[in-house]
Structure formats: structure tokens, C-alpha cells
Copies of this chain bind each other. A is one copy, B any other.
Amino acid sequence: MQTVRKDIHNSEMPVLCQSCEARHQGICGALSGDELVALAKSTRRVHKDAGEELMADAMPIDSYASVLRGVIKLSKVLEDGRQQVVGLQFAPDLLGRPFAAESRVTAEAASDVDLCVIPKPALEALLSRSAPLEHRVMMQALRELDEARDWMVTLGRKTAAEKVASFLYLIATHMDPCDEALETSFDLPLSRADIGDFLGLTVETVSRQISRLKSDGVIGIVNFRQVSIPDLARLRLRCG
């Protein structure tokens, strides 16, 4: 978020919103044509490689970003280094805590990502002028709250086996947009260590549970990162 590279910027038209609308419209579905054109002027398309940090906990926020492609990992760290992933963001989410001076989480590109970066003042000006836009931001916040609470159930009350199954199920249903297919295949956006930090488990436990799911035929592991799921309903049963 600090080092914005302008090179890839496509200046033809509302870059942000072409993509957004292609995938469920993101922030921009709520804007008028005029507003879109104005917005496109202040946005920058940016690419980040997997692993790059986008925002640090307790650091001032100077811009927001709309996720165009890829997965972003939100996490928090305890003083002694224990880490917890508190959320994942997929396109077309808005990245950045609205109306906060500083971030409350660390954001990192989990996979290669494309972002559409918007300076903080530009978005906030737009928010205060466009009630529909603010409404949309609120709807995202409410959805994220629902997701966080669902995940709290997983963290607090599920066994390690159920946690890993729940994680795979979550990713499967978010990554493969051609939904409802019983059979899917995808690349995990997180390392085993990150999965552990998401589930509140150690790497070893995650690995053991993945191995078990594999030997039970619930999932197939192609290439460590690449997972195939022959029957989503069967995975669902393992989620508790």
C-alpha cells in the first residue's frame, strides 16, 4: 500500500469498476456514471506478489484498496509472537478499515493479488457524498462480522479434524466461483503455517489432518498447494 506502482495502471476508463461488476460488483455498483469517472481518476491499479505486506497493525492508513484478484490475509499478533489469522479477503472486497485512523490488523497478500488502490481522502469524500456507497460498505462490514462469528464457532468448538475440513470447505466455496459443483479443484492460497494460524493449530496438526483426509479419500493432494475435492458434500460432513 505504501509503494504504489503506477505502471500497470490502465487509464482508459473506470478500471476498478469493470472488474468489480464482472464479479458481483464491489464497491462501485452503487455509484453513478459521473462518480465512476471521477473515481477512476484517483485510483491506481497495483500488483503485489504473494507475501508482501499491505498494511501493518497500528500503522496509519493512507489508502483503501478494492481486491480485484487474489486473496488477502488479515492477522493479529500477540506480544510473544503467537499469530492468529482473523480473516481472508477475496475479490471484490474493500480492504481497509473505514473511518479508522489506523489499522487494527496486519494485511498481507496471501497469493499474488491485483488491487485497485484509492487514496483515503478520495474514498471518504465519496462516502460522505454517496449514501448508497456508504450502505454498501456497511453491508460488507456486516457480512464480515457474520463470517467472523461463524469462524469463532470453528475456533472455539471444533476439533482439529473439523477445523481443517472447515477451512478446506471455506476455500473451496470461495475460490471456485462456478459454485454448487460437487467436484472442484483449486490452489490453496495459504501455506500450512498460515492455515495453522487461521485455525489455531500447529503446522504439524494441520499436516496430519490433511494427510488423514487424503488417505480417507475425501480430498486429493496434487502438489502440496493444489487440492482436488471429488465430493464437496462428503467434505461438508467432516466440518462438524
Q: Which residues of A contact B (CB under 8 A)?
A: 74, 76, 78-80, 82-84, 86-87, 97-100, 104-105, 131, 134-135, 137-139, 141-142, 144-146, 148-153, 155-158, 197, 199-200, 240
Contacts and interface: CB of A to CB of B under 8 A. Distances in A.
Contact of A148 (B79, B99, B149, B157): B149
22 contacts: A74-B149, A76-B153, A78-B158, A80-B240, A82-B157, A86-B152, A87-B149, A97-B146, A98-B142, A99-B142, A100-B142, A104-B149, A105-B149, A131-B131, A138-B138, A138-B141, A141-B145, A144-B145, A145-B145, A152-B152, A152-B155, A155-B200
B76 A149 contact: yes
A78 B155 contact: no
B78 A157 contact: yes
A151 B153 contact: no
Nearest to A130: B131
Contact of A78 (B100, B137, B199, B240): B240
Copies in the complex: 2
B148 A104 contact: no
Given A138-B134, A152-B151, A200 B105 contact: no
Nearest to A145: B145
Q: Which of A86, A145, A240 has the most CB of B within 10 A?
A: A145
Given A149-B86, A152-B86, A200 B141 contact: no
Nearest to A79: B240
